[in-house]
Amino acid sequence: MTKTGWTMRLGEACVLALAVAAFSAVPTALRTSGAGGALLDGLLVGTAALLPLVTLSIVLLRAAGRGLRGVLGAGAGPTAALGIALWIGLALPALAVLAGLLKALTHHRGLGGATFGVLGAFVVVACALVARRMVEIGQGLVARGVRPLHVAAGGAVVSVLPLLVVAAWLHRASGGAGASSVGAALVDLAIAVLATALVASIELSDKLLKLASALGVPFAAVLMIAASARLESSPPLGRAVQAGGGLAAMMVSALERWTDRDGDGMGAHFGGGDCDEGDPRRHPGAEDVPGDGIDQDCSGADTPRPEAPAKAPAAAPGSAPPPSSGTPAPAPSAPEPAGKALDPSRPDILLITLDTVRADHTSAYGYDQKTTPHLEELAARGVVFEHAYATGSDTQRALAPLVSGKPLSQTPHNRREWPTLADEIDTVAERMKRAGYATAAVVSFTWLSEDRGFAQGFDRFEPVYREEHPERSVTGALATRAALSVLEDLGKKDAPIFLWIHLFDAHERYLEHAGLRFGRGQPGLYDGEIAFVDKQIGQIAAFVSKWSRASRVAWIVHGSHGEGFGEHGDKGHGSSLYEEMIRVPLVVALPGGRPGRYGDGAVSTLDVAPTVLALASAPLDGVSGVSLLPHARLEPTAPRHPPVLAYASKRVALIDWPLKLMVIERKKQNRNFLFDLGADPRETKDLSEDRPDDVARLVKLAAEIAPSP
């Protein structure tokens, strides 16, 4: 056997690591492609990111293998590596399947965790026994004359293929972009560990060893330099890699943060687009102050200051027009159309959706932190609906009715986790367009896309998430800039305007914004995000106040759903229907309207669509919910709103203010909870056993008004 020095061993390790890293980077390439990057670019960056880690691992495994063979014999190293690889390759997919089944069948976190711990231990032990048996079968095949390389290749397929299937499933479940980054990173790591363990036992021939010692290190260096240069020349590639999630994405993200010298959360390299590392106020997604001469959001130009159109002095009868200077005067930002008066009975409508904003964390609803001063200003000239509820505590149920005018269960869609809305839907925007409105939408979340059916009926559809990933960066300033551009453009036309603006930043993950600190921990960061979203409302309101059409604007501002911080054992949203997850702000301010509050009954965000259509005198046939115009106009004859429903997985809530019934669906018998929200707004005391008649009445009422799927 030829003796090898450290340079030859390093070259050999680099060659083997290149193969492992390229193989392990395939999921990264797929996710990068799904997030808007190029497949080959994703493969290049993923390979370069994993290469140092894999090279070091192979070097250490080779050293450990030599020690192991010295103690247990010549065949111990490869056999042990193959057994461990098979064990991991069988156990991880089996545990993933077990976790998926428990998530689908068990809705109690403690019970689900305990069950997973017990059954998971049996799964791991069973996979170890199967892996051992497979190694014995492989040794038997080698003893019968089968080449060891063929046996190792079969073992690699058996151990790695299930992990690739899990990686593909995560890629599909996340819509191709980062929805399960932790799970993706674990799958990437498992694939890399398996492939490294298998490759570490391979011995290259003398000829290949000499070639590897000469070319391994230089080729690895060239590949890493090429990947770094590609990231440097294309920041969108870095953002696509990070948006896709996974192990390589975590490493690229760490490198980007390493280049963040001013602490604003955005680096200048490795996909970061910070244009000034000496000023934390300047970075992509920052709030750009219009007309101050500073490009705060690193877009390449300062946002122009919106100017109210100057009124030209009236010319005397028969006088000649003033002489031209040869330079055409700039067009006013939003002139009233000449010769065509806009119908005052059909106002311009601004519908603003505040994603993941719960009512009791807004100062407009009495929160002790000043999180929403701009929403308060709007509420001071409009109507605040004190008991407004989301249609569901998850994004899908909460947002679909804004487009379809119906609950998600009644909206034609496919069966994907993030469904595509069917073309057959007569959307709210399509109805508004037929009613003569110019329609536009500014959306900030990747699900709200044209290919998922959300653009139906919109003349302009502006997805700002193409510039920044909403779950990893800041999109509010981008959405505001796009909304002001839409208003300026559409304001030059003679049609009334319907503009839907979706602001996403209060959704996790929570980022800190300069000057907006409200306490420590996640709740404090969440409050800061709400305040940042409120600033976007303020900027839009400032523009509208100087707009030529300001007096005819109707505002509808609402939360999509809330967010839990462990008040009832759950965090985030989508899992339950307690107040923190479904009670949302809702403010309606009409042209010439009076300020007030509506608190006689509960209302629903399902009512937003019919309210918009009623404002436009558009048809309401087939639309669910109730128009809130009588309540927003404070009409004395406005009827009390009927009880409202909200949904989560295996859960339904009926709010007949002040009573609230929550039902958890079970196979044998449902579990009912009853709360008196007037006396117990935090839902600390279940009254279901004390007031069985109310429970029976509300259960019957929920069955009567529940929409049929």
Question: Would you list the DSSP string of 148-183?
Answer: HHHHHHHHHHHHHHHHHHHHHHHHHHTTTSSTTHHH
How far apart CA 394 and CA 560 sit, in angstroms, is 9
How far apart CA 498 and CA 440 sit, in angstroms, is 6
* Confidence class for position 84, pLDDT limits 50, 70, 90: low
Q: What average pLDDT does range 108-134 have in this prediction?
A: 72
What would the two tokens of residue 286 be?
């920052």
In 3D, which of 352, 499, 495, 485 has the Cα closest to residue 429? Answer: 499
H/E run at residue 313:
none
* Confidence class for position 476, pLDDT limits 50, 70, 90: very high
**Least confident segment among 320-324, 362-366, 420-424:** 320-324
Peptide bond just before 658 cis, omega within 30 deg: yes
- What's the mean pLDDT when you consider all of the chain? 80
Q: Say which residues have a Cβ less than 8 Å from residue 673's Cβ, sequence separation at least 6.
A: 661, 662, 663, 664, 686, 688
Q: Does residue 397 have a pLDDT over 90?
A: yes
**Higher per-residue confidence, 353 vs 326:** 353
Q: What average pLDDT does range 347-365 have in this prediction?
A: 97
**Least confident segment among 30-44, 359-373, 532-546:** 30-44
* Predicted pLDDT at 280: 67
Q: Does residue 316 have a pLDDT over 70?
A: no
Q: What average pLDDT does range 1-18 have in this prediction?
A: 68
* Confidence class for position 366, pLDDT limits 50, 70, 90: very high
Residue 434: how many other CB atoms lie within 10 Å: 13
Q: What single-letter amino acid sits at 311?
A: K
Q: What average pLDDT does range 410-417 have in this prediction?
A: 89
**Least confident segment among 253-267, 328-342, 372-386, 619-633:** 328-342
How far apart CA 111 and CA 125 sit, in angstroms, is 22
Angle among Cα 651, 655, 657 to the nearest 5 degrees reads: 160
Burial class (CB in 10 A: 0-12, 13-18, 19+), 577: buried
Q: Which residue intervals of 491-624 are DSSP H helices?
A: 521-545, 579-582, 608-615
Q: Does residue 301 have a pLDDT over 90?
A: no
**Least confident segment among 237-251, 263-277, 322-336, 481-495:** 322-336
Q: Say which residues have a Cβ less than 8 Å from residue 164's Cβ, sequence separation at least 6.
A: 26, 27, 191
In 3D, which of 443, 397, 390 has the Cα closest to residue 586? Answer: 390
**Least confident segment among 27-36, 489-498, 639-648:** 27-36
CA distance readout (Å), 246 to 26, 46, 94, 250, 257: 11, 10, 20, 6, 16
Q: Does residue 354 have a pLDDT over 50?
A: yes
Q: What average pLDDT does range 441-457 have in this prediction?
A: 94
- Domains, in order of start, for the chain: 6-250 (no CATH), 348-640 (3.40.720.10)
Q: Say which residues have a Cβ less than 8 Å from residue 294's Cβ, sequence separation at least 6.
A: 282, 302
* Confidence class for position 382, pLDDT limits 50, 70, 90: very high
Q: What average pLDDT does range 80-108 have in this prediction?
A: 63
Cα 348 to its chain centre, rounded Å, is: 29
How far apart CA 699 and CA 707 sit, in angstroms, is 14
Q: Does residue 617 have a pLDDT over 90?
A: yes
* Predicted pLDDT at 321: 43
**Higher per-residue confidence, 423 vs 282:** 423
* Confidence class for position 83, pLDDT limits 50, 70, 90: low
**Whether the Cβ atoms of residue 461 and residue 452 lie closer than 8 Å to each other:** no
What is the per-residue pLDDT across 677-693, written as a single tens digit (0 to 9) for each? Answer: 999 999 999 999 999 99
* Predicted pLDDT at 489: 93
Q: Which of 243-252, 281-290, 366-375 has the highest mean pLDDT?
A: 366-375
CA distance readout (Å), 249 to 31, 173, 188, 240, 624: 10, 18, 10, 9, 43
* Confidence class for position 304, pLDDT limits 50, 70, 90: low
